[in-house]
């Protein structure tokens, strides 16, 4: 997802859309942290759309409430190339409208790579599954979530390959549908959600 440093200053012909799915505590945040840090280290701008407080101090956080989200995103359209991370997207991406819908179908014109992060696959609009360049799938224990993914990916066999261990994920790259089981590092920062009650 992180292009060569020299490409940030010039307009690229393609920008990627990645969906990251999985329950809390299995490695989604670690994966997103690693990705956005690599992106920044290579000179890319990163914006984070996140209602949760774990992104509160991120310099590129964009969240003034759901009612203002589309107008805030519209401002990013003119902000130059970069990565937009939509964290906890299942809270506001099930039925995207306005700028949320536009960035799904026109991220190349916005000059933005897009990462949509969700706990539940059902919280993501089905069209997003069709256009995503890559999927990062962490453990999916709920039967309904697995059925939903099998339908959207048109492959029950792929869903069976999703790892159950923490910090392991199935990476699916399209359009080739090549896939690999990979692992991310546990986060160095321990949050309240990481601690057992």
- CATH code of the domain covering residue 113: 3.40.50.300
Q: Which residues contact 41 (CB under 8 A, 6 or more apart)?
A: none
Residue 37 inside a domain? The answer is yes
Total structural domains in the chain? 1
Residue 1 inside a domain? The answer is no
What is the pTM assigned to this prediction? 0.84
| Residue 188 scores a pLDDT above 80 | no
Residue 174 inside a domain? The answer is yes
| Residue 79 scores a pLDDT above 80 | yes
Q: Which residues contact 35 (CB under 8 A, 6 or more apart)?
A: 1, 2, 83, 115
Residue 6 inside a domain? The answer is no
Instruction: Tell me the C-alpha to C-alpha distance, in Å, between residue 6 and each of 83, 93, 115, 125, 168.
Output: 15, 32, 21, 33, 31
Task: Supply the range of the domain harboring residue 158.
Answer: 14-194
Q: How confident is the model at residue 108 (pLDDT cuts 50, 70, 90)?
A: confident
Q: What's 63's DSSP letter?
A: -
Residue 156 inside a domain? The answer is yes
Residue 7 inside a domain? The answer is no
Residue 118 inside a domain? The answer is yes
Output b/e per residue, 157-179; b: 16+ Cβ within 10 A. ebbeebbeebbbbbebebeeeeb
Residue 114 inside a domain? The answer is yes
pLDDT digits (tens, 9 = 90+) for 135-163: 999 999 889 999 999 998 888 888 999 99
CB 21 within 8 A of CB 148: no
CB 20 within 8 A of CB 118: yes
Beta-sheet pairing, 168-173 with 178-183: antiparallel
């Amino acid at each position: 997802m992180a292009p060569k440093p020299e490409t940030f200053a010039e307009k690229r012909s393609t920008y990627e859309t990645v969906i990251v799915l999985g329950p809390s505590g299995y490695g989604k945040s670690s994966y997103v942290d690693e990705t956005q840090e690599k992106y920044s280290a290579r000179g890319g701008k990163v914006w984070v759309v996140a209602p949760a407080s774990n992104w509160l101090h991120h310099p590129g956080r964009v969240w003034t409430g759901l009612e203002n989200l589309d107008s805030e995103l519209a401002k990013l359209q003119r902000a130059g190339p970069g990565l937009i991370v939509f964290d906890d997207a299942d809270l506001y991406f099930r039925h995207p409208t306005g700028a949320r819908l536009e960035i799904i179908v026109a991220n190349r014109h916005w000059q933005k790579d897009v990462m949509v992060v969700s706990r539940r696959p059902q919280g993501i609009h089905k069209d997003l599954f069709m256009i995503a360049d890559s999927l990062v799938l962490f453990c999916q224990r709920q039967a309904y979530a697995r059925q939903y993914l099998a339908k959207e990916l048109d492959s029950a066999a792929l869903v069976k390959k999703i790892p159950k261990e923490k910090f392991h994920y199935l990476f699916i790259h399209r359009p080739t549908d090549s896939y690999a089981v990979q692992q991310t590092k546990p986060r160095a920062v321990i949050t309240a959600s990481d601690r057992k009650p």
